[in-house]
A and B are shown apart, each in its own frame.
Chain A
């Protein structure tokens, strides 16, 4: 009867320290908001002149679209190649660590694979150009000799090995640890109950993995692959080091004439660029940003949906 709202709408008095501290950490969050807005804003502002540039000002093309298209194509081609190579291997590696290797070794092996992620990309570039590329030449020659009816291997084979295929392998190795660590984590989270249920039915280890581990980890595998794709799309210096670029659009994976990638093109041209060319390069950077954003967004959306369904948090 006499009850009245003592507390509720008016906030309780907060101590000065609490107020200062909470505004400080909130401000840090706001800085992140501003930074990202800044990235989008400044790139758009500096990239905009490229879209309206005269045909004569754009090197080697009539319009920005004609300039950017081969680069977008090359970026996608290299990243997809990398993914095709990395996905089966990283699922295998993740399975090896989570379900095949002796338990005591598992974390050490995981650490070894993580070391691959720690290697700077310029060192992958050196390894790709000086070690891997020359060793790929015999394979390319064989492919060009025997399988040239497949458009991918039309040849003539590169004599240096600096092809988009080699780039695909290097990128594949680079994204492998990213995907592996996501798959490994998901595989390790497979409910023990599901695994034991499968084993109790008399399943072999492989059958147990197919019955319990894969269905549980499917969305994890997909989103891991997407994150790896995002990384492969944006990789710059390893590609710039290894690839011999001629800016064509072709399916040929093993020849000397390869499409460039957006990121590598920026790295190669930017140090010497001036005037409108800088704006063009920044505009291509914006295109790359949008592509990787979409890929990452999709990956997170898949992970997010999975979290909702599994109820795990």
Chain B
């Protein structure tokens, strides 16, 4: 079910302002790709363009090509809503729906699209997704409690369960651990390791150790200058980026000299 992504010559604009410039990168299926870089370098914007979430902001547009297993993501015929069903996303801050219970949160993706679910089927999806998100044992006795009653780390895993319940082909994660404590972070990183067997995972992170721990490929983004668009500086196998980067600024960032 996982798919690869091919990005070529991508520019992202907000109105007249070019936020990200000239990105070309292949993203392999069934592996973890990490985006690192200083704040404001456009890595989150780029991530959001991969499931057309950036279109939520008025005036945002994209030039260039993104191919998902060869299919053009930005073809005029493509419905962004359909895209998002197949490319799931986990956000920086856990955001379970406050009006729904834990179980309802997990099947929200189906329910909100009013797919009819049999009770047994729904229970199966809830359990399956929560198990995959390593949350089942912790919440199985209180599935009808509100999602917001969980701790931050649990909420984030609930959000991951919610994202994988719709069986997406790609999972985008936008700094999923930045609001969490170290123990919850470890739990989520373990989860990412397990999930990469089935999913194409793209993760944005500020934490370089995290990128080194979870990803197979790392891409480094940086600003071309103050007020200039963000650019993809280089990408490659994580071990190579972290040991022998080609670009000077990558090395400076990795060794902690800026950012």
Q: Interface residues, chain A, CB within 8 Å of chain B? A: 1-8, 10, 12-13, 15
Contact = CB atoms under 8 A, between A and B. Distances in A.
Contacts of B64: 3, 6
Interface of B: 8-11, 55, 61-65, 72, 74-81
Given A5-B63, A6-B74, A8-B61, A13 B79 contact: yes
A6 B79 contact: no
Max chain B C-beta neighbours (<10 A), residue from A1, A6, A10, A15: A6
13 contacts: A1-B9, A2-B9, A3-B10, A5-B63, A6-B63, A6-B64, A6-B75, A7-B74, A12-B78, A12-B80, A13-B76, A13-B77, A15-B81
A6 B61 CA distance: 9
A172 B63 CA distance: 62
Contact of A3 (B55, B65, B78, B79): B65
Main secondary structure of the interface of A (DSSP, over half): loop
Contacts of B10: 3
A3 B21 CA distance: 11
B9 A12 contact: no
Given A1-B9, A2-B8, A2-B9, A7 B62 contact: yes
A9 to B, nearest CB: 9
Contacts of A6: 62-65, 72, 74-76
Contacts of A7: 61-62, 74, 76
Contact of B11 (A3, A10, A15): A3
B188 to A, nearest CB: 33
A1 B75 CA distance: 19
A3 B10 CA distance: 7
A279 to B, nearest CB: 48
Contacts of A1: 9
Contacts of A12: 55, 76, 78-80
A182 to B, nearest CB: 30
Nearest to B74: A6
A4 B63 contact: yes
Nearest to B80: A12
A280 B74 CA distance: 63
Contacts of A15: 79, 81
Nearest to A10: B76
Given A13-B77, A15-B79, A8 B9 contact: no
A2 B11 CA distance: 12
Contacts of B79: 12-13, 15
Given A6-B64, A6-B74, A12-B78, 11 more contacts: A2-B9, A3-B8, A3-B63, A6-B62, A6-B72, A7-B61, A7-B62, A8-B63, A12-B80, A13-B77, A15-B81
